Amino acid sequence: MTNQYQTEHYRELDALHHLHPFTSHKSLRTGGARVIVRGDGPYIWDSEGNCILDGMAGLWTANLGHSRKELAEAAYKQMLELPFYNTFFRTTHPPVVALSRKLAEIAPDNLNQVFYGSSGSESNDTAIRLIRHYWALKGEPKRRIIISRKNAYHGSTIAAASMSGMAHMHAHSYPLYEGFRHIMDPYWYGEAKSGETREEFGLRAARALEDEILAVGPENVAAFAGEPVQGAGGVKIPPANYWPEIQHIVDKYGMLFLADEVITGFGRLGTWFASEYYGIRPNLITFAKAVTSGYLPLSGVMVDDDIVDMLMDNDEDFNHGYTFSGHPVACAVALKNLEIIERERLVPRVRDFGAPALAKMLAKFKDHPLVGEVRSVGLLGAIELVADKRSRRRFADLGRVGLICRDHFFREGFIMRAVFDTMVMSPPLIWEQKQFDEAEAVIRRALDLTLSDVAGEVAA
């Protein structure tokens, strides 16, 4: 284990040479980064020896937990066999073939072909290009607009950030790509009008899609894109009637449907893909993160037969691809990851054990004075922190109290992420009751400590 001196050393060098994602570098330089040195199953350790329960599975990623030997062995074996070869110029290799076959088997029936990348952002860039290319090949090149939602997160490349609905990211895009529109997100707790039921709100949020289609002209609309559950936007779980209504509208206007399953894929909701959970029929599914449980970077787009047929009927190249599309070692690790998830029956286990255990644990905080709402689906959960439970009034300076709470979690040895004042979690699929019990104890302590920090601001 590294000692205190080394922690300071790492912090200093980190501040001097490492620009972190989505970070205020000024405040990082003052506070210093936490140095994480080891992971094992549901836990990680920092350089000062603190053991931390990882309630975020890395970053919605480590579905199998940390440091599985079998995944390391799969990588080692493949590295000795064929560490890298590209998939351009009519070449392929056994791991990419086997993984593509496996993904076709577990994805919805109409999705049988995969285009690979290394990150969720890349997979969404690929999807955007494929969608527009499809319509051009079909003789409808005007169909370019992709409608997504406010607060959606589809990635950080300029195209994926343009499709995302995050105003603070749009502000840093200089400028955005054209051809994206953003409708309201299905966030009942935050957006419902006074007295509006979940069902009424669900229909209103879904029908915003039809309003937007009519506003821009159906002949210009290429696709609708959405995360089945908005993750980075705050684990926003749509009302039950939302997705059926969206699917109905998508069908009515004959547009494509892209489901971004970068967070929800590979068992998180107790089904291989959330599309199955919600009964939606996307033409494209983007995935990343948990396909390898994060042990190596790999992503992709699953594409439906109709889009593939259109590509097949065309003699020209599809001018798109990445050096690491279908990286052999990443594919070998993904195959082993999926094999273990299957062998340990982790997908039905989420449905039968993990999801109810998380819901039960979160429900214990409903009555806490700081908590406006708790919600979960599968192994995605959220706790809304509010100044007034009854009126749902937020704290002044949105995000401030979320950070206070997140820091208490950290100090207590637990990772939960703050999305403004919404605390979100996404534990590995392997959590036992022991981890849910540990999380419950830490959440209680951290909420109480946060309450004492902001007591004067909380409605009696």
Ligand X SMILES: Cc1ncc(COP(=O)(O)O)c(C=O)c1O
Q: Which stretch binds ligand X (CB under 6 A): 77-85, 153-161, 312-320, 427-435?
A: 153-161
| Strand 422-425 relative to strand 371-377, pairing | unpaired
CB of residue 382 vs ligand X: minimum separation in angstroms? 14
- Residue choice 93, 154, 182, 406 for contact with ligand X (CB under 6 A): 154
Closest CA to 401 of 379, 420, 425: 420
| Strand 414-415 relative to strand 256-260, pairing | unpaired
Identify which of residues 326 and 372 has a Cβ nearer to ligand X in the complex.
326
| Strand 284-287 relative to strand 256-260, pairing | parallel
CB of residue 79 vs ligand X: minimum separation in angstroms? 22
Cis upstream peptide for 175 (omega within 30°): yes
Q: Looking at this protein, which amino acid is placed at residue 55? A: G
Give me the 120-149 binding string for ligand X, x by CB under 6 A, dash otherwise: xx--x-------------------------
CB of residue 162 vs ligand X: minimum separation in angstroms? 13
Identify which of residues 288 and 303 has a Cβ nearer to ligand X in the complex.
288
Determine the 3-state secondary structure of 180 from DSSP.
Answer: strand
CB of residue 152 vs ligand X: minimum separation in angstroms? 8
- Residue choice 54, 210, 227, 384 for contact with ligand X (CB under 6 A): 227
CB of residue 189 vs ligand X: minimum separation in angstroms? 20
Identify which of residues 293 and 450 has a Cβ nearer to ligand X in the complex.
293
How far apart CA 156 and CA 146 sit, in angstroms, is 17
The closest residue (CB) to ligand X is 120
Determine the 3-state secondary structure of 186 from DSSP.
Answer: coil
Q: Which stretch binds ligand X (CB under 6 A): 93-101, 150-158, 166-174, 251-259?
A: 150-158
Q: Which two tokens stand for residue 43?
A: 């836990």
CB of residue 261 vs ligand X: minimum separation in angstroms? 8
N- to C-terminal Cα distance for the chain?
Answer: 46
Establish if 234 lies at the interface with ligand X (CB under 6 A).
Answer: no
Q: Which stretch binds ligand X (CB under 6 A): 151-159, 194-202, 239-247, 445-453?
A: 151-159
- Residue choice 115, 134, 135, 153 for contact with ligand X (CB under 6 A): 153
CB 160 within 8 A of CB 258: no
Identify which of residues 156 and 247 has a Cβ nearer to ligand X in the complex.
156
**Count of chain residues binding ligand X (CB under 6 A):** 15
Count CB-CB contacts under 10 A for residue 46: 18
How far apart CA 275 and CA 265 sit, in angstroms, is 9
- Residue choice 155, 234, 294, 328 for contact with ligand X (CB under 6 A): 155
Q: Which stretch binds ligand X (CB under 6 A): 71-79, 134-142, 152-160, 449-457?
A: 152-160
Count CB-CB contacts under 10 A for residue 180: 21
Name which of residues 267 to 326 contact ligand X (CB under 6 A): 288
Identify which of residues 56 and 136 has a Cβ nearer to ligand X in the complex.
56
CB of residue 102 vs ligand X: minimum separation in angstroms? 20
CB of residue 447 vs ligand X: minimum separation in angstroms? 25
CA distances to 57, 122, 123, 139, 177 from 128, rounded to whole Å, are: 28, 10, 9, 17, 11
Burial of 396 (0-12, 13-18, 19+ CB in 10 A): exposed
How far apart CA 76 and CA 78 sit, in angstroms, is 5
CB of residue 422 vs ligand X: minimum separation in angstroms? 15
**Sheet containing 43-46: order of strands:** 36-40, 43-46, 51-54, 414-415
Name which of residues 92 to 121 contact ligand X (CB under 6 A): 119-121
CB of residue 232 vs ligand X: minimum separation in angstroms? 5
Burial of 434 (0-12, 13-18, 19+ CB in 10 A): exposed
Identify which of residues 156 and 435 has a Cβ nearer to ligand X in the complex.
156
Determine the 3-state secondary structure of 204 from DSSP.
Answer: helix
Applying CB under 6 A, which residues contact ligand X? 119-121, 124, 153-156, 227, 231-232, 260, 262-263, 288
